[in-house]
Structure 1
Amino acid sequence: MNGRTVIERFPAGGPRGSWPAEEFARERRLEGLPAEVVMDLATDMFLVVVRSGDGGAQAAG
C-alpha cells in the first residue's frame, strides 16, 4: 500500500456520531506512533496506517 502499514481496520458503517478509526488513531498518536486514517473504497473499510519508516514495522510485529 505504497509504503504504509495497516495496523487496524474498521467497517465504514459504524453508528452515527461514532468514529472508532479516528479514536484508535488518536490513541496511537498519543503513544508516539504517527497513525493516520485512510478509506479503502474497495473494501468499504477505514484503515489506520503508519508510513514505512515511521515505526510501522514495530507496530505490525
Structure 2
Amino acid sequence: MTTTLSPADVAAHEAGSYVRQSPPAPKPQRTVLESFSAGAPRGQWPAESFAAEQRRNGVPARVVMDLESDSFLVIVEAVS
C-alpha cells in the first residue's frame, strides 16, 4: 500500500525536518601569561599561586592544562 501525502502534510513534514543552525559563538582570545611544568613537587601549585597573585593585582587570570606540552598555563581570556 502506497500512501500519498497531501500538500499540507508534505509542508508540515519539511518544516519539522528542517535543522536550524545558529552562528558559532565567538571564540575567546587567550593570552598566556606564564607556563609551568606539570611536574612540580607534590603539594606545590606554582601555576595556581601565580594566577592568584595576578587576580590580586586585578588581572582575571586562570589556570588551564595544556595536554600537548604537559604544562599548566596561566591565561587571560578576552572575547574578540
TM-score range, shorter chain: 0.7 to 0.9
- TM-score, normalization: structure 2? 0.63
- TM-score, normalization: structure 1? 0.81
1:2, distance to aligned residue in structure 2 (A): 4.5
> What is the aligned partner in structure 1 of residue 60 from structure 2?
34
Deviations 1:38-59 (A, max 9, x none): 0000000000000026xxxxxx
Q: Gaps (5+ residues) in structure 1? A: 54-61
What is the alpha-carbon root mean square deviation over aligned residues?
Answer: 1.5
Structure with greater contact order relative to length (CA < 8 Å, sep ≥ 6): 1
4+ residue runs of structure 1 moved beyond 2 angstroms? none
Structure number with greater Rg is 2
How many residue pairs align between the two structures? 53
Percent of aligned pairs with the same residue?
A: 58
